[in-house]
Amino acid sequence: MLTTHETVAPVAASELMAPALVDRIQRRAVMVAVVLGVATIIGAVVEPEQFFRSYLVGYMMWLGATLGGLALLMMQYLTKGNWGFVLRRQLEAASRNVPLMALLFVPLAIAIWNHRLYPWLSSMSPEDAALPKFQQYLTVRGMLARAVVYFLVWFLLQFQLNRWGSWQDQRDEPDLLRSRRYQKLAGPGFILYALTITLAATDWVMSLDPHWYSTMFGLIIIVGQGIIAMSLCLLLNYGLRIYRPVSEMMQPLYWHDLGNLLLAMVMLFAYISFGQFLIIWSGNLPEEIEWYMNRLHGGWGVWASMIVLFHFAVPFFLLLMKWIKRRPERLVWIAALMFVMRYADLFWYTMPNFPAMAGLAATRGHFHYSWLDIVAPAALGGIWVAAFCRQLKKRPLYPIYDLLWPEVTKVRHGH
């Protein structure tokens, strides 16, 4: 068993706190949230239909940052990788935004209750009305009740993991207890997360077209959330790299590890997405193939080509190179690209379900873009980043008592 001297941070807790840059980021995020939040409210009054659509895209984006942090946190506890040591407090801070995302779900709950977002709630053919999924599952009360369950599960998982994480800053404990209790929760917790986010993505995104279904859709959302969280962590660590304690902890080896993880997620996302496309396209069933036809014509084909190029091909090629992954000033551009492309992918999944706005044919599949598609997600992002920075400042950036300190210290000194 490791001694207390070996498992305690070699510096004082005060030296492991977030630098002043986090305060500046928080203030700027608040400004963005206020200014763009007012613009979003105006948009909700002027264009309520477009507001709910744009809000859904932004909400799924920042829900991905929250739950992606929770998922990566549980994955780190299961794998015990050193990469998780340098990200753990950031992932915990992201996961503690679950209550915030529950609050921000209120506009979507209003849209569900008032039949403003999902077309099958307000108009349904007699044939659809006779189907069990519309009678028993896709109902207003069913969607809202399941949403309560989803947020309850996510809250309990992040609460317990963060509770144990805070203990690592307060007291040393036997290594056997520390390692096993996380794994006992992270194992079933990851299964619960995968199940609930799959159902949530089905309720909130896939049901926009109630006749289309894909058994791979939930996994696509899961991997996408991991990409969002990893990209945000890379962007944050790049900004903090010249400040202590990040300047001393983030060695080239860790940048390389995080780059490899991002590469793995990019490859997995592309594999699953192509597998979904191949199965549906080869099956050629009318209720399935129409979903892709709406996203490959009317301007959406260019958008899809952009996703293929910049969500997979370009980052895949660049992340194969070791000299890029070990240089944060280069890796950060790939992280920024992946973050933007996650928005593009969620937009591509969501918006073609709706008819074009005024001036175009009222049919699905016509490319259209609104100013709210930028303003609403950015406003939500300002709120999320401000809350994230507030959570990040509450604890040291690295756990004071941790089993990985001996290995991390060796890496820092180049042994």
pLDDT of residue 15: 86
pLDDT of residue 69: 97
**pLDDT(231) > 80:** yes
DSSP 277-292: HHHHHHHT-HHHHHHH
| Better-scored residue on pLDDT, 60 or 286 | 60
The band of 239, judged by pLDDT with boundaries at 50, 70 and 90, is: very high
Model pTM score: 0.93
pLDDT of residue 406: 74
**Rounded-to-integer distance, Cα 327 and Cα 384, Å:** 28
The band of 319, judged by pLDDT with boundaries at 50, 70 and 90, is: very high
The band of 172, judged by pLDDT with boundaries at 50, 70 and 90, is: low
Contacts for 314 with CB less than 8 Å, ≥ 6 apart: 337
Map tokens 């959330």 to a residue.
225
**Rounded-to-integer distance, Cα 300 and Cα 365, Å:** 7
The band of 102, judged by pLDDT with boundaries at 50, 70 and 90, is: very high
Max distance between CA atoms of the chain, in angstroms, equals: 72
**Rounded-to-integer distance, Cα 193 and Cα 52, Å:** 26
Q: Which two tokens stand for residue 206?
A: 């896939």
**Rounded-to-integer distance, Cα 352 and Cα 346, Å:** 11
Q: Are 374 and 140 in contact (CB under 8 A)?
A: no
User: Which residues span the domain enclosing 293?
Assistant: 4-412
Kindly report the average pLDDT of the chain as a whole number: 89
Which stretch of 77-86, 163-172, 244-253, 269-278 has the lowest confidence by average pLDDT? 163-172
Q: Are 126 and 49 in contact (CB under 8 A)?
A: no
Map tokens 């551009």 to a residue.
333
**pLDDT(363) > 60:** no
**pLDDT(105) > 50:** yes
pLDDT of residue 12: 73
What is the crossing angle of helices 48-79 and 217-240, to 10°? 80
The band of 343, judged by pLDDT with boundaries at 50, 70 and 90, is: very high
Q: What percent of the chain has pLDDT over 90?
A: 66
Contacts for 396 with CB less than 8 Å, ≥ 6 apart: 9, 13, 16, 17, 89, 169
Number of domains composing the chain: 1
